[in-house]
Every structure is written in structure tokens, then in C-alpha cells.
Amino acid sequence: MERLRLIFVTKSDPDCGNYNTALRICQGLVSIRPTWSYRIVSTTADTLEDATSADVLLCLHLYRCASLLGQGGSLSEKNLKLIGIAGGTDLNEDSKQPDRRVVMQNVALNCRHIVVFSESMLQFFKQLMSEDLGSVAETSLPPVSIIPQGISISSLQRDLHVEELGDADDEAPGHCGAYFVIVGRIRPVKNCCSVLEPFRQWKLEQCDEARLSQVQLLFVGDIAMSLGVPTIVSAVPGNTDLVKHLETGFVFGNDEQLIRCLSLVASEIKADQALVQSVTESAKLFVQRSHDIDAELKAYVELIEDCVRFKVKQRA
């Protein structure tokens, strides 16, 4: 395919995962298709200039992009070659507010294709559409594809945040101690602080005085499984697509289960250590296989080319 112009609408904060996802995908696309070009436009921009001249528009988060996409006339009148990416904010936050859900549905109905990241998000999206639209959703919604987000190990070196729960170990300079990791950008909806009290409780009960200052809690801004780190997650959709309890990680649904997971991961019993090692190795292999960046980019290239050719296919 010859020259192709892409516009990717997303949040523009450089520290935001959405922006970095858009940038990574766009840079990857032009590395595969050198004649393609892209422009990233913020959801808070005043106008979306030359939208109709773009060969394809991609929007990450249906609700956030709606206002910008709808300027100067209805979406249906513009006939944009639009690919909507329904992310976690769409499905876990905005869909709970009826007025926002209506906006999301309108954007979805005017897309050539919808992308979600996992099977649970696909089912949630279909349920969300059918609840309000009924039979209209069956006949009017575009095809929906699952394209798992690619994970780059190099990106795991960024955005490290430390929550100190004990004093520094002055007697052992340079000793890192034991760390537990919380994955995800720190913001209210993630409710990261909900684990602090169970962690503190477990730490006081399980760690002797010598280890108290060595056991810490880390917050990191990306997926830890790629690094071979034992991963503990809460039992919510998205997390459980990535992590299966005792297979690729450890899943908890309440404080008591979290404490049990912490105890298992920190156990010095050989059988427990062997289990944790096996689970961790399985997790690393799973991420490498299921969240490969090259596979993600190939899927987007095929989807965009199909969209341009008006041959959008159902892949989900």
C-alpha cells in the first residue's frame, strides 16, 4: 500500500500510558510501512484539523475522543475511516455513567472497527452495547477485534515509585532487601493504596525485626511479569486475563487472600519457593507469547489496510 496518513487521537500527557501506547504503535507502524505517516492529536485539542483528509483515524478511548471527533457535524455525516480502541477507562469507568455510555455507543456505531485488549473486555463491550441498543447492536455495530497490548521489557525501567514502609537499613548499605510490586499508573481508580494496610499487617506479623526494614512495597508503571517477577493481582477483569492463580501469578479477592499470597511468595519453604519459581517462569513465557509487540503491530497493519480497502473483517 502506498502513502497513508494516520491520525491517532489520545491523551497527550507524555507520562500517560495512553500517549506512550499511541506513540509506540505509530512508530512501529511506520517502521513496517515506511510510506505511512502519523500525527498524534490530543483529546483536549481545540479542533481536529484535516480529519477528513486522513486515510484512517484511530481513537484510544471512545468517550474521551467523542467531543473532538464530533466537532463540526455529526459523526455519521463525516463518514470517517475510524478505528475505535475501547480501553479500560471506557469499560471500567465511563460505561458506569449513563450519559457517557450513550456517547461511547454513538462513537462505536460510527467506527469501521473496534479494538479491545482481551477476551473479558470483548465480552464486557458486547454486553455494554446490547444492554441499551438491543437488536440494533447486533446489526449496526462494527466488527470487534482482540489485539493484546504489546509489552516491551525496556519500558519497565521507567517510572519507578517507592512507598517506604520501614526505615532504611543503615547497617547494610547497598542491600536492596525484598520488594513487592504494585503494577499500574498511580491514580484513584486503581485504588493502589487499598493494599497498604494488609501489606503492613502481613509485614508486622510475618517479618522478624531484622527484616522489617528490608521488606518494601514498590509501585511501577508497567507490567512486571516480563521481568520474571512474581506477580500478585486483584481479581478484576483485565488482571485475570493476564494472571491465572497459581499458573501465571497469584490472584486475591480480599485482604485475607492478599496476605496469603504475600506469605506464599515470601515463603522460605522449599516447596513454596519451587511453586513460585514455576509460576513466575510460566508468566514470563505467557507474556512473551501473548503480548508480543511484533504480533500487535502486524495486527494493526492488517486492520488499517483492511479499513482503507473497505474490507474490514471479523477477527474476534
Mean pLDDT of 206-223: 55
> Which CATH number is 220's domain given?
3.40.50.2000
Same domain, 98 and 126: yes
Side chain identity, residue 92 = N
Range of the domain at 226: 153-290
Is residue 314 assigned to a domain? no
Mean pLDDT of 176-204: 61
- Enumerate long-range contacts of 132-136, CB under 8 Å, 24 or more apart: 132/101, 132/102, 132/105, 133/105
Same domain, 186 and 96: no
Confidence of residue 1 (pLDDT cuts 50, 70, 90): low
Look at residue 266 and tell me whether its pLDDT is greater than 70: yes
Confidence of residue 25 (pLDDT cuts 50, 70, 90): very high
Number of domains the chain is built from? 2
pTM for this structure?
0.75
Torsion angle (degrees, nearest 10) of CA 134, 139, 141, 143: 130
Q: 230 near 242, Cβ under 8 Å?
A: no
Look at residue 183 and tell me whether its pLDDT is greater than 60: no
**Residue 169: predicted pLDDT:** 43
Return the higher-pLDDT residue of 45 and 166. 45
Confidence of residue 175 (pLDDT cuts 50, 70, 90): very low
Confidence of residue 45 (pLDDT cuts 50, 70, 90): confident
Mean pLDDT of 218-243: 70
Same domain, 216 and 205: yes
DSSP state of 143: P
Mean pLDDT of 218-242: 69
Mean pLDDT of 66-94: 77
Same domain, 230 and 273: yes
Confidence of residue 54 (pLDDT cuts 50, 70, 90): confident
Look at residue 114 and tell me whether its pLDDT is greater than 90: yes
Q: What is the mean pLDDT of the chain?
A: 77
Is residue 266 assigned to a domain? yes
Same domain, 145 and 166: no
Is residue 75 assigned to a domain? yes
Look at residue 89 and tell me whether its pLDDT is greater than 70: yes
Same domain, 121 and 25: yes
Same domain, 252 and 212: yes
Same domain, 164 and 217: yes
Is residue 313 assigned to a domain? no
CA 74 to CA 191: how far, in whole Å?
Answer: 37
CA 197 to CA 98: how far, in whole Å?
Answer: 34
Is residue 8 assigned to a domain? yes
Return the higher-pLDDT residue of 287 and 10. 10
Strands 215-220, 160-163: pairing is antiparallel
Is residue 315 assigned to a domain? no
pLDDT in tens, 146-172: 999 887 655 444 443 334 333 444 443
Biggest distance spanned by C-alpha atoms of the chain: 70
Is residue 45 assigned to a domain? yes
Task: Determine which of 4-18, 175-189, 197-211, 253-267 has the lowest per-residue pLDDT on average.
Answer: 175-189
Same domain, 129 and 161: no
Return the higher-pLDDT residue of 10 and 12. 10
Q: 226 near 138, Cβ under 8 Å?
A: no
Mean pLDDT of 307-312: 67
Is residue 222 assigned to a domain? yes
Look at residue 74 and tell me whether its pLDDT is greater than 70: no
Same domain, 43 and 127: yes
Where do the H-state alpha helices sit in 81-149?
Answer: 88-92, 98-109, 119-133, 135-140
Same domain, 164 and 184: yes
Closest by Cα among 107, 146, 149, 103 to 124: 146
Mean pLDDT of 114-135: 84
Same domain, 273 and 167: yes
Q: 40 near 10, Cβ under 8 Å?
A: yes
CA 236 to CA 93: how far, in whole Å?
Answer: 13
Look at residue 174 and tell me whether its pLDDT is greater than 80: no
Instruction: For the beta carbon of residue 28, count every other beta carbon within 10 angstroms.
Output: 18
Closest by Cα among 128, 22, 107 to 64: 107
